[in-house]
Structure 1
Amino acid sequence: MKINPVRFFLYLLTALIICGTVKHSPLAAETGKTPRLVFEEDSHNFGDIYKGEKVSHWFAFTNAGTGDLVINSVKTSCGCTAAAPSQKSIPPGTGAEIEVTFKSDVFRGSIRKTVTVDTNDPEKPRYALTIEANVLEEVVAEPPTLWFNQIKLGQSVAKEVDIKSLTDLKLKITKVRSSSPVLEFRVRKKDGDGSPVLEVSTRKGASLGRFAGDVQVFTNSKRQPLLTIPFFGEIVSDVSVFPPKISYGVVRKGEEVTRQVLITIHTNDIKLEKFDLKPDFLGLHHVPDSNNYFHRLDIILGKDVPAGRLEGSLTIHTTSKDQPLLTVPIYGVIKEG
């Protein structure tokens, strides 16, 4: 009998697929026994909680199938939420729990977070749990953020922050601190109701440059003993340059790459005189605004530059007595091909 080679190949391929499936399938190894994950609930609302509180909920579930249920992983949608199963392998007809914990330190208002559970349940291998809460504040800062903007070198700028209790707590500030050496603090009582007022000032001797961070206000609130107030600002002289250095990273030879430098003039009578750029193969394009306060420099790394390590500088000449020369280092590596 003559055998059709095409038909024989299809028979052989089908047999190999069937054998491979039987050999490697865990379900077949269990002779048809499969797990089934059933949660008693898939969402929980904590209701009103106070900022700084840590709350937990246990999601109970059972294995309603005929094979062992395996919890492969439990993942949360953010670092503020943690989740862990009480056990990872659950026999048929038994149950376990997944503990979900939420930290409310940096939240306020309504929040919603998810937890994803991956199992060996063939019908629904991925299951989503949800937690919700409304985060209240017992202690608030008005304004909640301090924007100092740009401050001339040698000057001091002061801001006031009202520290208020949204409950009947007689609020007291016990300590104030910050990692930034730029700021100094004083606490006083507000005229009238006697609530605390935090005075935040920049030091006159602060160094040039941008500053940012958090003011940590410690209070007598048991619910919210720590209040965090972000702050941002910059100490400037006649001229400021950003970024303070130029990095091209690693560039393949033949590519053209452009980096931008932004120059701001803070004093009316100051002008830019000229620019020195090293090495010579770098290109420069100057774009001033109509008022001569803001300048953009395009520093161009051309296609024909030699391979090797790039080390150079941009020198900005100005009419400022305090800042006649401003130097911006330039770094990079040009690789062959």
Structure 2
Amino acid sequence: MTGVPDIHDTPSRREFLLASGAAGTVLVAGCLNNDNSGSDGIETKGSGDSTGDMDSGSGESTTEGGSSGQLSGTIDIAGSSTVFPLATAMGERFKKEHSQVKINIQSTGSGGGFENHFCPGRTDFNNASRPIKEEETSNCQGNNVNPVELNVATDALTVVVNKEANWVDCLTVEQLKKIWSAETKPKTWKDINSDWPDEDLELYGPTDASGTYDYFIEAILGEEGPGHRQDYSATEQDRQIIQGVKGSKNAIGYLGFAYYSENKDAVKALGIDDGNGCVDPSLETAKSGKYTPLSRPLFTYPSKESLAEEHVAEFAKFWIENATNKKIVADEVGYVPLDSSQQEEQMKKLESAISEAKQG
């Protein structure tokens, strides 16, 4: 591996990456090439296509003879909408070097990906915005699928409101808990703070298939608490959360930082006070550990079985090799890259899994 090609992306391509999660199916070749042949592009699907037809497993892999050693085959990826733009960016660059590898990426939510695609053996990777659950691991292993956990970045889960919501710039963790708790379920902004407007809250957030939803419960509501309220507009498409909050002065929602970073002109991010004053979400505060409790690790999970295929193993290595790349992870997508020690740890884990897969 020689690293990432020097690709200068246009802003419209960045918007495309985020919009594609809310669209149907699109093909990407290099930057933008609407090639329906599949073999020359990356196929991306939103969660509306989460039960659509996909090739089972990794498909047949070949490495052509001759001096080029060209990789070919299919890589199927499902899971987290938060990790989706990062997976797409890595997939694009990998295809610059290996044009005969077809990469299918679906945004299905972490849990939806594990349950419906990865654990049944229909995909090679599952992206996740929280660690795999015990029951998911058991479900996978029951189907002879052994997930390998790889940390690929850090996110700052972001709470957003309408640009015109001039009464609020920061929420305490307790206020955030009150807004989203199934027990309290306040109806108006005034119910949160008596100085705020007596206007109905409009709530937008991810579905219960999302790792972002699971992480929010763990970090804010507590796993033993009353649970997440269900009277809100739920979607697996982060773009729709942005649109909902943008469309109403009284709206509030939460989502991954990358989607907020691409829409700073549309919505306003709130600072979070975890007891030591308000801290705004940013790559710097997430990296430093100041943005608590909403900074979180992001993962991809290749199956050990799929890593026996050369093209799958090479893509996984490519991703980890470039997980420290600020241009891709931070500047383009909007997450905190791994540092060199984290990268080394993840690469050792991956190489060990690849070795075991090829021996077994």
TM over 0.5: no
Higher strand fraction (1 or 2): 1
Larger radius of gyration between Structure 1 and Structure 2: 1
Relative contact order (C-alpha < 8 Å, sep 6+): which is higher? 2
TM-score scaled by length of structure 2: 0.21
